[in-house]
Amino acid sequence: MKNIFKYIEQIRSGNSQSAKPEFQEFLFISAFPKSGSSFISLVISDVLNLPILDVVYSHLREQDLYKPLIEEYNSKKYVSKHHTLATTPNIEILQNYNVRPVILTRKLPDVIISLRDHISKTLIWPHFYVPNDFNKWDNNQQYNFLIDLAVPWYLFFFASWKNTEQRGDLSLLFVEYENFHKDKAITIQNILAFMGYKISLEKILDSMEKVSQLPPKQNRLNKAEVYRGKKQLSDNQLSKISEKTKHYTNVDFSSILY
């Protein structure tokens, strides 16, 4: 019986020889929600002619990778995009499968505006409960709600991946939405290069055009604006966002603040 428990622990930790697969093309993007990740993953999928597969149990549990699915896909090459935290179990899975994640971020004030637009249509969000009367609130009350409840999760996401990078646990590429907005094709080319693919801008632009023609529910293209938060949030709301970062003294949040 002790041997069985020992074997199970080896499987969980990735130390079992049979649990660790040969290198596979598992291209993984972990992203801030509302940071252009759907569009980017669709373009990469088209450029490389690879499917996009989920590696989580449910989209309401995107913080956790689901190892049984990854094991099921072991013989496939694919792209996967989720909003995954750099927790110890997730890091161990990515290490075990030789994955070098791309981390997409965006300025937090802009995230709040885009998130409000999204939640007003769905009234569903995986990281907190949305009150049924959310759409009866004025914009300021909605923004305050999201600053209080959404921003802490985004800080957890950012700090967890930054600390992972600092410790050298994984090879990561951080990509800022603002740079993507400035030059989408170059940004995607850089992501592909990090993933090990040298792709011409012409091919990337062709795929971008195809993805842009997809229905909005599929390509998830939003208003694609930057600095909306500066225009729509008050100085006090912007200060509240910045104030929350002060709890993490060892993390530089300047790239996601104004």
pLDDT tens digit at each of 258 positions of the chain: 444 334 334 434 444 443 444 454 589 999 999 999 999 999 999 999 999 999 999 887 778 999 999 999 988 999 999 999 999 999 999 999 999 999 999 999 999 999 999 999 999 999 999 999 999 999 999 999 999 999 999 999 999 999 999 999 999 999 999 999 999 999 999 999 999 999 999 999 999 999 999 987 777 666 678 999 999 999 999 999 999 999 999 999 999 999
Angle subtended at Cα 39 by Cα 38 and Cα 41, rounded to the nearest 5 degrees:
65
Indicate the number of domains in the chain: 1
Q: Domain of 223? A: 2-256
For the stretch 189-207, pLDDT in tens is 999 999 999 999 999 999 9
Count of CB atoms within 10 A of residue 241's CB? 25
Determine the pLDDT at residue 19. 42
* CA dist., res. 167 & res. 149, Å (int): 28
Determine the pLDDT at residue 216. 78
Tokens of 193: 């290069």
The closest alpha carbon to 125, from 213, 53, 33, 20, belongs to 33
Tokens of 215: 């229905």
Per-residue DSSP letters for 143-189?
HHHHHHHTHHHHHHHHHHHHHHHHHTSS--EEEEHHHHHH-HHHHHH
Query: Cα separations (Å) of 196 from 37, 86, 120, 209, 234?
Result: 19, 22, 39, 23, 43
CATH of residue 119: 3.40.50.300
For the stretch 125-152, pLDDT in tens is 999 999 999 999 999 999 999 999 999 9
The closest alpha carbon to 143, from 119, 178, 107, belongs to 119
Q: What are phi and psi of 222, to 5 degrees?
A: -100, -160
Determine the pLDDT at residue 13. 43
